[in-house]
Amino acid sequence: MKSYDAVVIGAGPGGYVCAIRLAQLGKKTAIIEKEKIGGVCLNVGCIPSKALIFGATQFHRAQHDFEEIGIGFKSLDCDLSKLQNWKDGVVKKLTGGVTQLLKMNQVDVLTGTASFKDGRTIEVKGKSNETVTAASFVIATGSRVVEIPTLPFNHKNILDSTETLELKTLPKKLIVVGGGFIGVEIGMAYAKLGSEVTIVEAMAEILPGTDRELVSVVEKKMRKMGITVLTQAKAMGSRQLNQGSEVELEIEMGGKKEMKTANRILVSVGRRPNSDQIGLEKLGMKLDPKGNVIVDSQGKTSVSGIFAIGDITGPPQLAHRASMDGLIVAAVIGGENAHKDYKVVPWAIFSDPEIATVGLTEKEAQAKGIKFKIGKFPFAASGRALSTNETEGMVKVLIDESNESILGVHMVGPEVSNLIAEAALAIEMGACVEDIIRTIHTHPTLPEAFPEAIESAFGKSIHIFKPPAKPK
């Protein structure tokens, strides 16, 4: 039996970050992973999907956008198998790097499935067959895809997101069941590579919960790309055709049924926490009705000495939130009085164009009774956006009328997944209008759109004209 100061269960972006920080704080630490170091994010989620999206975007731009700026090609094709190999190489470099970092920080890596025997003991079965004890445990087991009872995965042509990201041949027809961010991202990527894509969403709109003004820009691009979007549509079942090379999906819309044929169906309707596989029932740990582990502001569960971070604690299920959770919990175990007092958690959708948002939406601000101004600046007026031929979208800023603080920032356009970081910092530190507009932004760059959007709320943007408000 091995004994540690702290044991982390799960080596995703929450777990490995927590383990490294614990080791840096002088704690004898082990991390348990049943599959691959890096978890879903590095191996089959964030990183490989963005690599595939990047490759697909370059191919699509070369086909449709480069001629406009004087760059032509006599012939152009995409070797999907080679693209997948490059993507896998990116993943291997990152996961290999994390493995080396764990080793350099003297974190013991145990490979296998972990299960609590009691509140101080875990049994590991797999490549590492160990029983370990610790003063503190951190549960970072993440989440897994939800399977629809009427459309079970057959791992041949009814696939989850992991399998869809690994396709070596391009499906002529791809149906995406679920119009959330994963479905939209992967659907648009394959449409760029040449697939005929249909997105089926049960709700009244795709990307539900996202600012409609932002989503409408993406929907416009989808129509231009030939993607079919069916909303208020339910996937009712399927049957195999042509010796299983094709599959027919039954869709119900407005009380009527319709059949759609595809080579592949991606089912992406959400994720569920991995809280049912590690023996938590033996501990009497408190979970919410959806199976999420209930934690306090320090990441503590209802069982003394056991913490939980990331997806297993509920939304937002984001890698960067999990990483910050891990740092906070490591600090608490290390003796600091740290708390998860996140003012905001930014997030991004890698659609085309990208969507990124942080802080309050208009609906949320209205529900809180906050009076606010709205400022907008279109990328069509940005010198940098024009010079890169990517002018779709805008930056929208919500400003508190009472003190001119930044309430929320919502973007759709080129590289907004990067631009949102400045907005997140501004809200987190309580920046006001003057702080942003008096900060010199490099020219010509996309971040110049942020202060311009703020200025437009007061009718003072330089690079767009907004008529002064008429006196009441």
Q: What is the CA 168 to chain-centroid distance, rounded?
A: 24
Token look-up 């009328």 returns 401
> How confident is the model at residue 471, as a pLDDT?
72
Give the tens place of pLDDT for each residue, 317-341.
999 999 999 999 999 999 999 999 9
Give the tens place of pLDDT for each residue, 138-190.
999 999 999 999 999 999 999 999 999 999 999 999 999 999 999 999 999 99
Give the tens place of pLDDT for each residue, 412-429.
999 999 999 999 999 999
> How confident is the model at residue 242, as a pLDDT?
84
Token look-up 């503590």 returns 300
> How confident is the model at residue 74, as a pLDDT?
78
Encoding tokens for residue 134? 């610790």
Exposure string for 326-341, b = 16+ CB within 10 A, e = fewer: bbbbbbbbbeeebebe
Exposure string for 28-48, b = 16+ CB within 10 A, e = fewer: bbbbbbbebbbbbbbbbbbbb
**Residues whose CB is less than 8 angstroms from the CB of residue 104 and which lie 6 or more positions away in sequence, other chains included:** none
Q: Over 80: is that where the pLDDT of 244 sits?
A: no
Burial of 101 (0-12, 13-18, 19+ CB in 10 A): middle
The C-alpha angle with vertex 83 and arms to 79 and 84, in degrees rounded to 5, equals 120
What mean pLDDT comes out for the span 104-121?
A: 97
Phi and psi angles of residue 270, each rounded to the nearest 5 degrees, phi first = 125, 180
Exposure string for 226-258, b = 16+ CB within 10 A, e = fewer: ebebbeebbbeebeeeeeeebbbbbbeeeeeee
- Classify strands 108-111 and 29-33 as parallel, antiparallel or unpaired: parallel
Query: Which residue in the list 64, 155, 441, 443 is annotated as catalytic?
Result: 443
> How confident is the model at residue 332, as a pLDDT?
98
Contact 32/122 with Cβ under 8 angstroms?
yes
> How confident is the model at residue 279, as a pLDDT?
96
Q: Over 90: is that where the pLDDT of 470 sits?
A: no
What mean pLDDT comes out for the span 284-312?
A: 98
- Catalytic (active site) residue 155: no
Encoding tokens for residue 225? 């790309």
Token look-up 């759709």 returns 412
Give the tens place of pLDDT for each residue, 339-374.
999 999 999 999 999 999 999 999 999 999 999 999
> How confident is the model at residue 93, as a pLDDT?
97
> How confident is the model at residue 469, as a pLDDT?
72
Give the N- to C-terminal CA distance of the chain in Å, as an integer. 78
Q: Over 80: is that where the pLDDT of 94 sits?
A: yes
Q: Over 90: is that where the pLDDT of 277 sits?
A: no
With cut-offs at 50, 70 and 90, classify the pLDDT of residue 92. very high
What mean pLDDT comes out for the span 118-138?
A: 96
Q: Over 90: is that where the pLDDT of 472 sits?
A: no
* Of the candidates 416, 316, 410, 417, the residue with the CA atom closest to the CA atom of residue 364: 410
| DSSP E strand boundaries for 167-285 | 173-177, 196-201, 228-231, 233-241, 246-253, 256-262, 264-267, 271-273
Encoding tokens for residue 284? 């009497």
Q: Taking all residues of the chain, what is their mean pLDDT, rounded to a whole number?
A: 96
Contact 68/61 with Cβ under 8 angstroms?
no
With cut-offs at 50, 70 and 90, classify the pLDDT of residue 67. confident
Residue 287 per-residue DSSP state: B
d(CA 45, CA 165): 9
With cut-offs at 50, 70 and 90, classify the pLDDT of residue 466. confident
d(CA 87, CA 61): 19
Which domains, ranges and CATH numbers included, belong to the chain?
A: 2-145+272-333 (3.50.50.60), 158-269 (3.50.50.60), 347-456 (3.30.390.30)
Give the tens place of pLDDT for each residue, 69-88.
999 887 889 999 999 999 99
**Residues whose CB is less than 8 angstroms from the CB of residue 231 and which lie 6 or more positions away in sequence, other chains included:** 179, 201, 203, 204, 205, 206
Q: Over 90: is that where the pLDDT of 48 sits?
A: yes
**Range list of H helices, 105-177:** 161-164
Q: Over 80: is that where the pLDDT of 42 sits?
A: yes
d(CA 394, CA 379): 5
With cut-offs at 50, 70 and 90, classify the pLDDT of residue 245. confident
What is the model's pTM? 0.95
> How confident is the model at residue 468, as a pLDDT?
75
What mean pLDDT comes out for the span 433-451?
A: 98
With cut-offs at 50, 70 and 90, classify the pLDDT of residue 294. very high
> How confident is the model at residue 11, as a pLDDT?
98
